[in-house]
Amino acid sequence: MEMSANELAGQKTGVELSALKAEARNLNFYYGDMQALKGVSLPVAERRVTALIGPSGCGKSTFLRCFNRMHDLYDGSRYEGEIVFQPDGVNILERSVDPIEVRMRIGMVFQKPNPFPKSIFENVAYGLRVRGERSRRVMAEKVEAALRDASLWDEVSDRLDDMAFNLSGGQQQRLCIARALATEPELMLFDEPTSALDPIATANIEELIHRLKDKVTILIVTHNMQQAARVSDYTAFMYLGELVEFGDTNLIFTNPKSKQTEDYITGRYG
């Protein structure tokens, strides 16, 4: 039996959620005439990891990028519906909401490490500069704290002025995590953060995500189901722009309600 995505969201899923950090309500998204998201509703629990899984092209990255209004950078994108951000209770998709304000509070880590061609220090400090931080002392403290949180400090503390490109791929991705952490975001979006990394670097990042959820709410897109099972508290399965099933990660992987979810997690397609 198919349930509409709408009914799956929030309390109706029967999932016990702690406080919500954000909630997508009946979200439609269009690239020009092409509808990429169809009525997606999803709660994002505070200080928990919520994973989005699904086959390529199912709209999980598109959905993630709605949360920091990344689509606004490109012509021809259109949102319908709501993403209510807590504690303010504001719909961040509203036209009157400045996407830059949204991005000030919601950080993002991308699929491929994308450090700026600047020094390691400058990469982490950039978000602080954007926020008008002038004191060198405060800046240095926050950069160190962010690098420690991203488990990178011990590897780079003696070469903060080196170019970020000289780091390995895994280090670069942790640098990008530190860069986002330095701005103390309330919600962090991870868009397949390990898809370009080797298994050891991937394990590092997963461990990091696991530790970070004490500080920050995390929404992560992954094409890797084992990864979703390892790092997340809640999992949402998306297919063809719709949310098929959402629930407690353990339940989704052991006892999926939907046939589609079951087929996907057992590797029958995707």
Partner 1 sequence: MAYDAQTVRRLVARGKHWDKVFVIIGLLSLMVGVLTLAVLLAGLIHDGAGRLNLDFFSNFPSRRAERAGILSALVGSSLVMLVTALAAIPLGIAAGVYLEEYARKNWLTEIIEINVTNLAGVPSIIYGLLALGLFVYAFDFGQSILSAGLTLALLILPVIIVATREAIRAIPGTIREGAYALGATRWQTVRDHVVPYSTGGILTGVIIGLARAIGETAPVITIGALTFIAFLPEAPVGGEFPFISFEWLSSPFTVMPIQMFNWLSRPQAAFQENAAAAGMVLVVLTLLMNALAIWLRLRYRKRIKW
In the complex, what is the shortest distance from the CB of residue 180 to partner 1, in angstroms, rounded to a whole number?
7
Contact positions toward partner 1, by CB under 8 A? 68, 70, 73, 75, 100-101, 103-104, 107-108, 110, 112, 114-117, 126-127, 129-131, 163, 165, 176, 179-180, 183
In the complex, what is the shortest distance from the CB of residue 194 to partner 1, in angstroms, rounded to a whole number?
16
CB closer to partner 1 out of 163 and 251? 163
CB closer to partner 1 out of 176 and 244? 176
In the complex, what is the shortest distance from the CB of residue 103 to partner 1, in angstroms, rounded to a whole number?
4
Note whether 242 and 40 are within 8 A (CB): yes
| Rg, Å, the chain Cα set | 18
CB closer to partner 1 out of 144 and 184? 184
**H helical segments located in the chain:** 5-8, 60-66, 99-105, 120-130, 136-149, 153-156, 169-181, 199-212, 225-231, 249-254, 259-265
The contacts of residue 90 (CB under 8 Å, 6+ apart) are 84, 97
CB closer to partner 1 out of 14 and 32? 32
In the complex, what is the shortest distance from the CB of residue 98 to partner 1, in angstroms, rounded to a whole number?
10
Note whether 115 and 177 are within 8 A (CB): no
